[in-house]
Structure 1
Amino acid sequence: MTFPAEDDFRRLLDALTSCVLLHDAQTKAIVWANRAACVALGFSVEELLPLKARDMTRPEPKYRREIGVGAMDRAITEGPQVYEWCYRSRAGVDMLSEAVATYVPLSGRDVVMVQFRDISAEEATRQKLRRYEARLREFMQDLDEGVAVVTPSGGVQFISESGRRVLGLAPDEALGAVLDYCTEADRDRLIAQLRDAPSVRPSEPQRYRIVRRDGTPCWLRITCRHVQIEGDLDGLLVHFRDIGGEVVIEDARRTEARMLEYAGRYNAMGEMATVIAHELSQPLAAVRNFIEGAIQRLNAGGAVDDAIWGLRSADRQAEHAALIIKSVREYIVKREPEVVVADLRDILSDVAYFIELRAREAGVAVTIEQAGVPLPIRCERVLIGQVILNLAFNAIEAFAGFVRVPSTPRTLVLGTAQAMDGLAELRTIDNGPGVADEAHAVLFDGFFSSKAGGNGIGLSLCKSIVTRHGGRISASPARGGGLDCRFALPKSRT
């Protein structure tokens, strides 16, 4: 085998831009350096020859001469060796380098060629990244949010320590599949969210009830985004947060809202007690009269047919009284939430009876104007009925003590219509005293009342119920005086 001459080999290395030192294979002493190495270290070849490791490296244990010699010896017996070494220039500047020791037999002698390149900037970047990673790990320790990278097939490539804590996983416990934690009822929804994850922004947050590994239930809010980094990553970046506390608060607020809504219905009927009692007194008095008449005819030996007629008339009046009681009971009874699709026109018809009773006592003429087309809305029917009642009762009560000049009839118009933006709208328009101009914007904001002694809870309830149904409510001056209150709700497509 023919080995290259040392001079030819040196000329070849001198043309390289990478730094090269040649060491004698036996003594490990420097025997030559190419031009790039001389420039980088600030020494000439002649100045480099007598230098030892202690003269051109840091005085640290990991840069002892024995370490470097060991790497060169392994290069002779095992093949090229890559190691980190710190070279120190003539000016005293340290140059952290990646060194590659390669055994090269030449015609004159055997050498170990050490190629090295400055990796100071790379190491500084790595250290900075390690610091950032450590900080991020510390910051994420106390988060209630977990981060995971999920493959398109559902495997988990990465999960943060905070994510393991959210899922109730022990440090070394296997994660398992993503769907293992989800309830059967929510699996299809989670699969659809992961499948349809966008790539430019996180998906809309979805809420799921899961069972942690320790067996405790938990509520999570999950968002995801498809991420793709060529040659490194192709999957879903999933963020999940424990929202158990939020769910508890929301449940408490819903319960409180239900109680307040029930109290509002009960209060409305309480205010109408006198009117309802008067309405009941008429059929009950008629029942008594018909029964007494039937008894008198039978005692006097009159015709049985006459007595039967009186009893049947009494039965009809009793049925009328029962319907009044049933209407009141169905309105004020505490009910569980039931969302249905109902025509807004039908809801207005349901409560019109109570409105007309109250208006009759106050001397207010009520006009019902129904839309000519169906207005289907998805709602809790009894709550929307309560909004209509509250608006109508507020308008009727505003007439108390109000005298129009010149004297004109007191009127209240209740109407349904399709709004210009396609929503289903209900309006109450009265010709009463109205409110101050600055009050229209805050009429439904809570504790505002247009009547003496009022507390405004009914109007605040109206806004709460309408907003919860995804609608809007407003007040404005009516033409010719009075108040125009309207609420609009999204129409149902089903």
Structure 2
Amino acid sequence: MTPPTESDFRVLLDALNHCVLLHDAETKAIVWANRAACVALGFTLEELLPLKAHDMTRNDARYRREIAVDAMDRSATQGPQAYEWCYRSRTGVDMLSEAIATYVPLSGRPVVMVQFRDISEEEAMRQKLRSYETRLREYMHDLDEGVALITPRGKVAYLSESGRRVLGVAPDTPLGSALDYCTRADRDRLASQLRDAPRQHSTDAQRYRIKRRDGVERWLRITCRRVDIDGELNGVLVHFRDVSEEVSLEETRRTEARMLEYAGRYNAMGEMATAIAHELSQPLAAVRNFIEGAIQRLNQPNAVESAVWGLRAADRQAEHAALIIRSVREFVGKREPVAIDADLRDVLADVAYFIQLRARDEGVSVTIEQSPQPLPIRCERVLIGQVILNLAFNAVEALTEAKQANRVVTLATSRNHDVAELHVIDNGPGVPEDVLERLFDGFSSSKAAGNGIGLSLCKNIVSRHDGRIWAQRAATGGLDCRFALPLLSQA
């Protein structure tokens, strides 16, 4: 087969889609162009040959003739040279191009072959992406939320600028491992969340106490999901937000709620003080009488046995007084809230004694109707007892102001499907309809001189136990206040 001639190679170059210009290696004048270059620039080959750089190049300092000449010269000694060039067509349309100058020592004379292709659309897309990236950076700059990519081995492969700010990581500082930022107590939990991250959606948010690189401890809320895009973006994409202020506010609210509960408890005791004082006065007076009697008998001959009887009777009365005091101390003693398994019937039994004391002094009868079935609940026993006390004391006070002779408060427990209910029912005058609807809202009260804090506190406590509290008209014409708490599932 005959080797291809130089004219054959021209035919091959002419068939290319890439634009090709041949320049004289010495003068840099155009000596030939393929068809693609002629079409792109809008000139025939004959029109192209006499043209100079300024005739077919955008008038811009970045595209001075010296730059292209320098690239062509370097191609003779350093190999092909790539550079960006902006050609201008016959109609004045700019064509941003990627050009490659290659030195070719042809038999007749050496030339520089310049291949170029239009990259205007690519550059426009790059500009748009850069613009999007700039705007995205601006949008994210002041966010409290960071974004990170964690590799399958747990290394932080990427951390957004906002994420660096949240974690206190300075620019150019190594990112390290994801678990390095977490406190030791939470590392296993974070590792589990990252390991179990799904692909379709983000995990549920979890909170972690973290230590920033500057040593400051903060709280983060973290969600994540697994990503794998073309094998390049592979790992767990993590979104995290600084929620330290939110956690601090919640803790403040919990502290305030506990203090309000303690205040409410002491307020309840204030209302009980008179009844308890009366109840204590009886055994204390009996103790004194028995002791005085024993002393008198000791002055008589052969009276030791009767004196001992008197002292033992005094001891029994003192023990009765001690039980009263111990019951009060057990109920009002300030302690950290502890949720335990309890029977709602037993909680009612704990406070029934105090309610009966208060009601007896006001001439009100108390009836207790316990459910025949166990009512197992999970609760802070003292707080639920406080709710019962508040509701019962309100009912007793409402009846104190009533004129009827037969005044009764009924305390009842019952089971209603999957909840345990407690009812406080009185046969008093009731309350207006508009008051009934907002009875448990703050600063709403059924009493003329009341401020509603007690009932609002009841609602707060019941809500914290995932229950509900409400009031309705009783069948007896008075008020029926109820609360319901979820029953424990029976294994």
- The amino acid that maps onto 2:20 is V
Where does residue 65 of structure 1 map in the other structure?
65
Match of 2:319 in 1: 319
| Structure 2 residue 408 is matched with structure 1 residue 423 | no
Q: Does 1:344 align with 2:366?
A: no
- What's the TM-score once normalised by structure 2's chain length? 0.91
> Once the two structures are superposed, what CA deviation does each residue of 1:12-59 show, in whole Å capped at 9, x if it has no partner?
333333433333444433233333333322222222222222221222
Would you identify which runs of 4 or more consecutive aligned residues in structure 1 move more than 6 Å? none
1:108/1:482 CA distance change after superposition, 3 Å: farther
Matched residue, 1:441: 437
Letter in 2 for 1:486: R
SS at match of 1:17: coil
State the secondary structure of the residue aligned to 1:438. Answer: helix
Asked if the contact 2:435/2:446 (under 8 Å) is kept, the reply is no
CA distance in structure 2 between the aligned counterparts of 1:228 and 1:425, rounded to whole angstroms = 52
CA 478–89 in structure 1, closer or farther in 2 if over 3 Å, else same:
farther
The CA distance in 1 between the partners of 2:375 and 2:413, in whole Å, is: 8
Q: In 2, Cα distance between the equivalents of 1:416 and 1:104? A: 102
Q: Distance in 2 between matches of 1:386 and 1:395?
A: 14
Q: Aligned runs of 1:358-373 on 2, under 5 Å?
A: 358-373=358-373
- Deviation, 1:77, is 4.2
Greater alpha carbon shift after TM alignment, 266-275 vs 340-349: 340-349
C-alpha separation in 1, matches of 2:57 and 2:100: 16
**CA offset at residue 79 of structure 1?**
4.1
- 1:6, 1:108 within 8 Å by CA — same for their partners in 2? no
Letter aligned with residue 428 of structure 2: G
Q: Which residue of 2 aligns with 1:380?
A: 380
Would the aligned equivalents of 1:20 and 1:34 in 2 still touch at CA under 8 Å?
yes
* CA pair 114-331 structure 1, distance change in 2 beyond 3 A: same
1 CA distance for matches of 2:278 and 2:208?
53
Distance 1:476 1:25, change over 3 A: farther
Aligned-pair CA distance for 1:163: 1.9
Whether the 8 Å CA contact 1:145–1:166 is kept in 2: the answer is yes
Match of 2:196 in 1: 196
Q: CA deviation at 1:455?
A: 0.3
- Counterpart CA distance in 2 for 1:107 and 1:234 is 53
Q: Which stretch shifts more, 241-250 or 278-287?
A: 241-250
Task: Say if 1:275 and 1:39 are closer, same or farther in 2 by CA, change over 3 A.
Answer: same
Distance 1:44 1:215 in 2: 71
1:284 Cα shift? 1.6
Equivalence for 1:304 = 304
Residue 485 of structure 1 is aligned with which of 456, 481, 484? 481
Report if the CA contact (8 A) 1:31-1:49 is conserved. yes
* 270-279 or 461-470, larger mean C-alpha shift: 461-470
Residue 264 of structure 2 corresponds to 264
In 1, Cα distance between the equivalents of 2:196 and 2:488? Answer: 25
Asked whether 1:142 is paired with 2:123, we answer: no
2:364–2:400 CA contact under 8 A, matched in 1: no
Per-residue deviation, 1:159: 0.9
The residue type paired with residue 269 of structure 2 is M
Matched, 1:289 2:286: no
Paired residue type of 2:180: D
**Residues 1:87 and 1:358: Cα distance change in structure 2 (over 3 Å):** same
TM-score by length of 1: 0.90
1:247 matched to 2:247: yes
Separation (CA, whole Å) in 1 of partners of 2:89 and 2:66: 20
- Unpaired segments of 5 or more residues in structure 1? none
Q: CA deviation at 1:203?
A: 2.1
Quick check: 1:414 aligned with 2:411? Answer: yes
**C-alpha distance in 1 between matches for 2:364 and 2:84:** 96
Note the residue ranges of structure 2 that are not aligned, 5 or more in a row: none
1:114 counterpart letter in structure 2: V
- For residues 163-203 of structure 1, give each alpha carbon's deviation from its aligned partner in whole angstroms, at most 9, with x where no partner exists: 22222223233232222232222122212222222333332
1:5 and 1:147 map into 2 onto residues whose CA distance is 61
Taking a change above 3 Å as real, the CA distance of residues 428 and 228 of structure 1, as seen in their structure-2 partners, is farther
Question: Which shifted more, 475-484 or 275-284?
Answer: 475-484
1:87-236 equivalence runs, <5 A: 87-103=87-103, 110-236=110-236
Contact 1:447–1:456 (CA under 8 A) maintained in structure 2: yes
CA contact (8 A) 1:3 1:106 kept: no
Contact 1:23 1:32 in 2 (8 A): yes
2:311 counterpart letter in structure 1: L
Could you tell me which amino acid in structure 2 is paired with residue 70 of structure 1? D
Name the residue aligned to 1:37: 37
Q: Which amino acid aligns with 1:83?
A: Y
Please report how far the alpha carbon of residue 272 of structure 1 lies from its aligned counterpart in structure 2 after TM superposition.
1.6
Aligned to 2:468: 472
| Correspondence 1:459 to 2:434 | no
Q: Deviations 1:232-278 (Å, cap 9, x if unpaired)?
A: 21112222222222233223222222222111111111112111111
Per the alignment, do residues 9 and 340 of structure 1 end up closer, same or farther by CA in structure 2, a change over 3 Å counting? same
Q: Which residue of 1 aligns with 2:48?
A: 48
Distance 2:25 2:237 in 1: 53
Asked whether the 8 Å contact 1:5–1:106 carries over to 2, the reply is no
Question: Which whole-Å CA distance do the structure 1 matches of 2:47 and 2:480 have between them?
Answer: 99
CA RMSD of the aligned region, Å? 2.7
